[in-house]
Structure 1
Amino acid sequence: MKKIVMGRFQFKMNFEYTVLLLAMSILVGCKTEVKKNSSSEVLSENRQTNNEKVVELLVGTFAEGDDQGIYQVHFNPETGELSNSHRVAIENKPGYLYLSKDGNRVYSSNGTKPGSVSAFQWNKDKTALDKVSNLSSMGDGACYVGVSPEEHLLAAANYSSGSIVLYPLDENGGMIDDPQGIQHTGSGPHPNQNSAHAHCVQFSQNGKFLYAVDLGIDQILTYPINSENKLGKAQVALQLDPGDGPRHLVFHPTENKVFIINELSSTVVSATVDEENGVFTKIDKKSTLPDDYQEPNACADIHISKDGKFLYASNRGHNSIAVYSVSESGDLKLLTIEPVQGDWPRNFALSPDGNFLLVANQKSDNITVFKVDRQTGLLKYTGNQVSISQPVCLKF
């Protein structure tokens, strides 16, 4: 009887042990499953982190036919690689772009005859730009578009007709069809200066003035903006030398200084800015070319580093980027002239972190990437590039 009891006890122990093992197995399985889920979450987080490393670059083009429009390219700010080039909007000659501060709106100047300005907004999944409006630029060959610091005014420059236009924007960034068009007059000594050619419009950093850079008359005009958000009578902010052909300007990031690139004389000019009356005072002027270069050249674009220490200017013809150091007084020193690895660099851009410089080469249909030495300002070609038909504007 005792033996039988012991046998039953043994059976009971074996059964309980088996149940215990089974429970432990289930528990381990659950823990393993939890661990798998955790791994998936980590992988998801890694993907999100990797996605954050991709910076979106918009490209305005002069492409024609089936290729025309605005493109988007993914840029890796760690490696400088470009990938996933795709069209996000169909538009005719969107030669210059402006992106709203919140990233939801994109404006383009359209270099057509007659010219126009278009406003786009991203669709819900941010895969395409939907055109919400298209208004006349009140001239021909719109080549530049800019928005005021408060984003309540939009201005555009018309190269062919030598005029500018100002549009009010509503609270959502929509263009209000109440334009103010102004025609420039005059000429210059260069064959390309037979009439006025407005090439750039920039709002002052305090929002009090609109500057119009006119290649045809060698002048930068400043328009005061009144309380009704209209442009007042223009005055000459800066008279350039005859035949300079000013094209673009860029403001110093922290000081009251401005830098102008001259298309026709292949030079850059630095100047001080009077914030009260909008007038510039010239500081320095330097060539963008080597002393022994005698072939045709036409300068295009100009940008400055975030710390204001280095200035960059593009040469079309010599196909290069001129690099300058900027002194505290605003004097310029040419450091080097870097080949762009392409043909006809119409526009270029510094990456948001300032570590790379990207060049849109219109005639060679490519965008090339250069590493920026933040200490010296010098450029080094990374070998990274992407093919896009006639890229002419880059905006991060």
Structure 2
Amino acid sequence: MFSLLRFYLILSGVCLVSVLPSQAASYVYISLGGEKKIAIYQQNEADGKLTHLTDVKVPGAPGCLEVDPEKKYLFASIRSAKEFMSFSINPENGELTLISAVPAGGNAAYIATDRKGRYLLSAYYGEGKVAVHRLKKDGTILPEILQTIPTDKNAHAILPDQSNRYVFVPHTGPNAVYQFLWNEADGKLKANEPAIFEAAPEMEPRHLAVSKDNRFIYFDNEKGSSVTACKLDSESGTLKAFQTISTLPADFEGKNTCADIELSPSGKNLYASNRGHDSIACFAVDPQTGKLKSLGQAATEKTPRSFNIDPEGHFLYAAGQNNGKLAAYRIDSQTGKLTRIDTYEVGKSPSWVEVVKVP
């Protein structure tokens, strides 16, 4: 019916104007610690190809990047300057405009917003602590540190669960995950009971990923070169491990440490990076039990410290910290396996990759 109507309107000389909403754009932001800047690329959502747009200079080596839940603002930990910065994201071209820069209270290895985007949570590797900053609706980070809690050395990441009631902080030094209760009303953390989830010996949990249904939390183990799957008790906010699986092929004998971990948007696959083997370990996720099944490894660039998956789940981008290259992969929608489609020279010491689809 619509095609026939269009045909007659065209014959009548009537111009049709599309009323469809404009296509959202996707951008890739890369922290380049060796050049003190954040590089901005545009992603072609059809084929995954990247086009370099511009760079944003910052006052030190940028590390972890984070976006708010509405994808309007980007937050950065400027590690060597011990600052946090917030930027507005221009949806037309991906450009960043500085909103605020505040003292971080230390060298923050990881930052994350709570699920409502009202607070910025941070974990400090060297200082062994966690902290909370309040965020304004316009993306401003308020300079006053709302709360600081000493934990232990090598606090490596911090992330709330999907319900926004619990927060978890893996530590590579004490080989443990700190468990917190989170009060979204006043932005305060409180130690859970028990306060610590003890990892198996020689594991050293580093980063984490939370399943969409909030039933499972996964940690990649830096020293153990493995991933540990845990059940999350929704009533208590505590963890119970039920599987640990290697990220390496059985015949690998070299040195290796894990770095980053990501669940695909569909939740069907999980990925973790190997530094030493220099690969992305691929897993299938059983939707009922949460158990992982190895799909092998995809070779990547030297020392893959950070990688990220686009929000549609079609492409994965992994940065080689030691050679300044970014590997791009297509994700097979059926199997979850990776196929290398491109390699980009991005700059010195890329330490974080963040793919953002701007509404």
Q: Deviations over 1:37-62 (max 9, x none)?
A: x7xx99xx8xx99x948521111221
C-alpha displacement of 1:236: 3.2
C-alpha displacement of 1:104: 2.5
Q: How many residues are aligned here? A: 339
Query: Does structure 2 conserve the Cα–Cα contact (< 8 Å) formed by 1:362 and 1:392?
Result: yes
Confirm whether residue 199 of structure 1 aligns to residue 159 of structure 2: no
C-alpha change, 1:74 and 1:91, in structure 2 (3 Å) is farther
Bigger share in helix = 1
Confirm whether residue 219 of structure 1 aligns to residue 186 of structure 2: no
Distance in 2 of aligned mates of 1:108 and 1:267: 28
Distance in 2 of aligned mates of 1:291 and 1:394: 29
Equivalent in 15, 19, 26 of residue 55 of structure 1:
26
Distance in 2 of aligned mates of 1:147 and 1:300: 21
C-alpha displacement of 1:376: 0.8
Question: 1:231 matched to which residue of 2?
Answer: 189
Confirm whether residue 166 of structure 1 aligns to residue 132 of structure 2: yes
Does 220-229 or 369-378 show the bigger shift? 220-229
Equivalent in 329, 332, 340 of residue 381 of structure 1:
340
Q: Deviations over 1:315-358 (max 9, x none)?
A: 01110011111222122211111101x11111111122111111
Bigger share in strand = 2
Confirm whether residue 301 of structure 1 aligns to residue 260 of structure 2: yes
Confirm whether residue 104 of structure 1 aligns to residue 72 of structure 2: yes
Q: Deviations over 1:248-297 (max 9, x none)?
A: 00011224111100111111000111122210111100111122222111
Question: 2:117 matched to which residue of 1?
Answer: 151
Query: Does structure 2 conserve the Cα–Cα contact (< 8 Å) formed by 1:83 and 1:386?
Result: no
C-alpha displacement of 1:81: 1.1
Equivalent in 49, 58, 75 of residue 43 of structure 2:
75
C-alpha displacement of 1:366: 1.3
C-alpha displacement of 1:200: 0.3
- With CA pairs under 8 Å and 6+ residues apart, which has the higher RCO, 1 or 2? 2
Find the structure with the greater CA-based Rg: 1
Ranges in structure 1 where 5+ consecutive residues have no aligned partner: 1-34, 186-195
Query: Does structure 1 conserve the Cα–Cα contact (< 8 Å) formed by 2:111 and 2:157?
Result: yes
2:283 partner amino acid:
Y
Confirm whether residue 130 of structure 1 aligns to residue 91 of structure 2: no
C-alpha displacement of 1:89: 4.1
RMSD: 2.5
Query: Does structure 2 conserve the Cα–Cα contact (< 8 Å) formed by 1:81 and 1:384?
Result: no
Ranges in structure 2 where 5+ consecutive residues have no aligned partner: 1-12
C-alpha change, 1:152 and 1:384, in structure 2 (3 Å) is same
Q: Deviations over 1:113-156 (max 9, x none)?
A: 6x2222222469756423332223323x3111100111111111
Aligned-residue sequence identity (percent) comes to: 26
Secondary structure at the aligned position of 2:174 is classed as: coil
C-alpha change, 1:124 and 1:354, in structure 2 (3 Å) is closer
Secondary structure at the aligned position of 1:299 is classed as: strand
| TM-score in terms of structure 2 length | 0.87
C-alpha change, 1:89 and 1:106, in structure 2 (3 Å) is farther
Distance in 1 of aligned mates of 2:64 and 2:226: 22
